[in-house]
Structure formats: structure tokens, C-alpha cells
């Protein structure tokens, strides 16, 4: 069972342009899908499903959204949490005010609302670039949170701005257990990831990357700057919006506006840095890394305090976590600016040559 493409000849461009051109990869992804769709919900315990796997997938979707904008189209955004908030609160409103719509259409509409907000706050990208744009996206972050907190309509005039996600019933079937919520999340995320992959290997994806790499040349080739940038903002915010809706409905249940602060934006940004900018796979790896790291650290500190026989105060642990987080970011930027996805790719290249490097 070597990892090889020898003997697998491509007889058409269509075959050459498959998502997984190498057979072993296709086998691998099928196995992975079987595991996550069948084995995990059957065998995983409640805690792992609801507290780890589900949020992990939701973050992966948000990271994917940000990756489309920042990794592919090169427009640095610090407003991810705001787009997620729009998705979460608008999904709540659609479910509340148009109950006949159903869950999935509500999520889609919520995503579209996020996309609309994304386009509005993406407008400055037509005039400004780089850091200036990054700072401009902060405007979105602060404005959206403010609006949610001040405009009672959005939270249905709940006293503290806290909303409770409605029960999810799809085609008469309630999605109310951790396993079902996980499956719903997984299905949506898988589908959207596939769409993103298709988009990124088509003309739209190439236009995004062209704008990222060299905007003047892109324009000279005929790529429309305004259209491309705003489309990137729209698609990215759509993904983040749907992620936000699922964050509220499949994970948190009860949501306060403070769940969507700048910290969350940074968290998602870290995911794509660590996972790999401009990589769909990287969004997933990064989300897994950032979600699992605190759990790992907790276990580790638990072990250490057990060994030493002293209780490590919670504040110390959370500060250590901050430090480790920050240090890891710097570490990754220094060692592999293209993230874990690149390391994975390199490992695969090596494997291709192993054990005979010729």
C-alpha cells in the first residue's frame, strides 16, 4: 500500500482537474467521511459531540469563510465575529417572525443578510488596502455588536440582549440530540466546503487569487476589481453568517451579543494562520487545532498539578493559555507561514517518494 500516482494515467483534463486526482487520496477521504458521518455519531459520547466536534465544525466553516476573503482574495478582515453575529441573530429572527420558513431556509437567509452586511463593509476595500482595510473591518465589528445591543428589534426586546435559539425541526423531524445536531452541522459544513472547493478551482477562485497576488495585473487581464472584491466579501460573509447561525442553533442554544466580540474574530484568524491561508483543508486543520488546544492544555495542566500535588489556580491557567496561544502564532508564522496544511502537503510529497527517493 504505497502512496503513489504511478500507473494512474490521466487521459483527460477532467480527470486531471478532479479534487483528489490520486486514488489513495480518494480512498482516504471516503474512509474519513464514513468515520465522521457514521462512526463518530454512533460511538462518540454526548460531551465530545456537543462540546467539541460540533463547535469544531462550526469554527471550521467560519475559518473557511475568512479564508475565502483573506487567504484567497487577500483582503485582511478582523470582522469575522460580526458576520457570525449577523447570521446568528438574523436566523433567530427569521425563525421567530417567519416560522413557516423552516430551519435551512432561515440559515440561508441569515447567511445572505451577513453577505449584505459584508458587501457594505467591503466597499472601502475598493479604495483602501492592507492595514487600512483591516482597520476598516473593525468598524464592522464594533458597529454590528453595537446595533445588536441597541436595536431591540434584533433581539426581540429581550432584556439583556440574550436570545434563545428555537428548536430545530426539519421536515417534521426534530434535531434535538447532540448526535443529530452534530450530523446536521456536519452535513451543512461538508456541503459548503465542497462548494467552496469547486468555486476556488474555477474562474472565481482564480480571480480572487489574482487580485490577492497582483491587483494591477489582474485588472489589466480584465478582472473586474469591484465585482471580484465585493463578491469575495459577500461569499465570505455568507459562510461566516451560516457558521454564526449554527453557532447559535447547533451549539450555544442561548446566545448573547458578547459571544461575538473581537476575540472571536481573532480566534478565527488564528485558525487560518495556523491551518494555512488559501487552503480549504487548512481551515479545518486550524479549527481543530485551536479548538483542541485549550482542552489539551487543560488536561496537561491537570496532569502537572496532579504530579506536583498542588492546585494551579484557574487564572494562572487561563493566562498561560493566552501566552501559549500567542507564542504558537508567532512560532507558526516563523516556522511555516503557510500553516499546517502546507506541512501536510510536504509530508505527502515525501511519502510519494518513499522509500525510494527517485
Residues in 219-258 that interact with other proteins by CB under 8 A: 219-224, 231, 235
CB of 61 to other proteins, least distance (A): 15
Q: Give yes or no for residue 348 binding other proteins (CB under 8 A).
A: no
Q: In 232-301, which ranges are E strands?
A: 254-255
How many angstroms separate the CA atoms of 10 and 14, rounded?
Answer: 9
Helix/strand/coil percentages in the chain, nearest 5: 75, 0, 20
Q: Which is nearer to other proteins, 4 or 40 (CB)?
A: 4
Secondary structure (3-state) at 45: coil
- Residues 97-156 contacting other proteins, CB under 8 A: 123-124, 127-128, 130-132, 134-136, 138-139, 142-143, 145-146, 149-151
Give 106 or 137: the residue with its C-beta nearer to other proteins: 137
- List all residues 6 or more positions away from 264 whose beta carbon is below 8 Å from its beta carbon: 80, 81, 84
User: By the 8 A CB rule, do 52 and 296 touch?
Assistant: no
Could you tell me the smallest distance in angstroms from the CB atom of residue 99 to other proteins? 28
Residue 241 Rama label (left phi>0; alpha psi -120 to 50; beta) = alpha
Question: In this structure, how many other beta carbons lie within 10 angstroms of the beta carbon of residue 352?
Answer: 15
Cβ-based nearer residue to other proteins, 47 or 151: 151
| Residue 344 near other proteins by CB under 8 A | no
Position 196 contacts other proteins (CB under 8 A): yes
Q: Of 29, 295, 327, 347, which one interacts with other proteins (CB under 8 A)?
A: 327
- 26 sits near other proteins (criterion: CB under 8 A): no
Q: C-beta of 285: minimal distance to other proteins in Å?
A: 17
CA 267, 263, 179, 109 torsion-angle sign? negative
- Output 101 or 329, the one with its CB closest to other proteins: 329
* 310 binding other proteins? (CB under 8 A): no
Cβ-proximal residues to 140 (8 Å cutoff; 6+ apart), any chain: 79, 82, 83, 117, 121
Q: Which of 6, 42, 308, 315 binds other proteins (CB under 8 A)?
A: 315
Using the contact rule CB under 8 A, the part of the chain among 101-109, 246-254, 292-300, 316-324 near other proteins is: 316-324
307 is an interface residue for other proteins by CB under 8 A: no
Nearer to other proteins (CB atom), residue 176 or residue 263: 263
Binding mask 255-274 for other proteins (x = CB under 8 A): -------x---x--xx--x-
Q: Residue 129's Cα: distance from chain center in Å?
A: 23
Buried b (16+ CB within 10 A) or exposed e, 68-89: bbbbbbbbbbbbbbbbbbbbbb
Q: Is 6 in the site for other proteins (CB under 8 A)?
A: no
> In this chain, which of 36, 60, 69, 76 binds other proteins, going by CB under 8 A?
76
Distance of closest approach, residue 171 Cβ to other proteins, in angstroms: 22
Please, what is the Cα angle at 261 between 106 and 190, to 5 degrees?
A: 45
Could you tell me the smallest distance in angstroms from the CB atom of residue 48 to other proteins? 27
Is residue 161 a contact partner of residue 148, using CB atoms and an 8 Å limit?
yes
* 65 counts as binding other proteins under rule CB under 8 A: no
What is the secondary structure of 195-231 as a DSSP string?
Answer: HHHHHHTSHHHHHHHHHHH-HHHHHHHT--HHHHHHH
Interface with other proteins, residue 195, by CB under 8 A = yes
Under rule CB under 8 A, residue 207 binds other proteins: yes
User: Least distance to other proteins from the beta carbon of 197, Å?
Assistant: 9
Is position 29 an interface residue for other proteins (rule: CB under 8 A)? no
Amino acid at each position: 500500500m504505497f502512496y503513489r500516482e504511478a500507473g494512474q494515467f490521466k487521459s483527460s483534463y477532467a480527470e486531471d482537474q478532479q479534487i483528489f486526482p490520486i486514488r489513495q487520496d480518494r480512498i482516504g477521504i471516503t474512509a474519513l467521511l464514513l468515520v465522521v458521518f457514521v462512526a463518530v455519531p454512533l460511538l462518540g459520547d454526548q460531551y465530545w459531540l456537543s462540546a467539541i466536534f460540533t463547535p469544531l465544525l462550526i469554527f471550521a466553516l467560519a475559518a473557511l469563510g475568512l479564508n475565502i476573503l483573506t487567504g484567497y482574495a487577500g483582503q485582511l478582515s478582523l470582522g469575522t465575529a460580526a458576520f457570525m453575529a449577523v447570521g446568528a441573530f438574523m436566523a433567530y429572527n427569521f425563525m421567530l417572525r417567519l416560522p413557516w420558513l423552516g430551519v435551512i431556509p432561515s440559515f440561508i437567509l441569515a447567511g445572505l443578510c451577513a453577505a449584505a452586511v459584508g458587501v457594505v463593509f467591503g466597499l472601502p476595500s475598493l479604495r483602501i488596502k492592507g492595514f487600512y482595510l483591516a482597520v476598516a473591518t473593525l468598524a464592522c465589528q464594533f458597529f454590528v455588536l453595537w446595533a445588536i445591543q441597541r436595536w431591540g428589534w434584533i433581539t426581540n426586546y429581550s432584556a439583556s440582549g440574550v436570545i434563545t435559539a428555537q428548536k430545530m425541526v426539519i421536515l417534521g423531524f426534530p434535531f434535538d440530540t447532540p448526535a443529530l445536531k452534530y450530523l446536521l452541522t456536519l452535513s451543512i459544513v461538508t456541503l459548503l466546503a465542497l462548494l467552496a472547493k469547486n468555486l476556488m478551482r474555477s474562474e472565481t477562485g482564480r480571480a480572487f487569487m489574482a487580485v490577492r497576488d497582483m491587483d494591477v495585473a489582474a485588472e489589466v487581464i480584465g478582472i473586474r476589481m469591484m465585482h471580484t472584491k465585493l463578491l469575495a466579501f459577500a461569499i465570505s460573509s455568507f459562510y461566516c453568517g451560516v457558521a454564526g447561525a449554527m453557532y447559535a442553533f447547533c451549539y450555544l442554544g442561548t446566545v448573547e451579543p458578547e459571544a461575538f466580540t473581537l476575540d472571536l474574530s481573532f480566534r478565527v484568524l488564528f485558525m487560518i494562520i495556523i491551518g494555512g491561508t488559501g487552503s480549504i483543508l487548512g481551515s479545518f486543520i486550524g479549527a481543530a487545532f485551536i479548538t483542541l488546544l485549550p482542552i489539551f492544555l487543560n488536561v496537561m495542566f491537570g496532569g502537572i498539578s496532579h504530579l506536583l500535588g498542588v492546585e494551579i489556580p484557574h487564572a494562572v491557567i487561563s493566562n498561560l493559555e493566552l501566552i501559549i496561544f500567542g507564542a504558537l502564532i508567532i512560532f507558526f508564522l516563523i516556522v511555516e507561514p503557510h500553516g499546517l496544511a502546507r506541512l501536510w502537503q510536504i509530508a505527502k510529497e515525501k511519502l510519494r517518494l518513499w522509500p525510494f527517493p527517485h
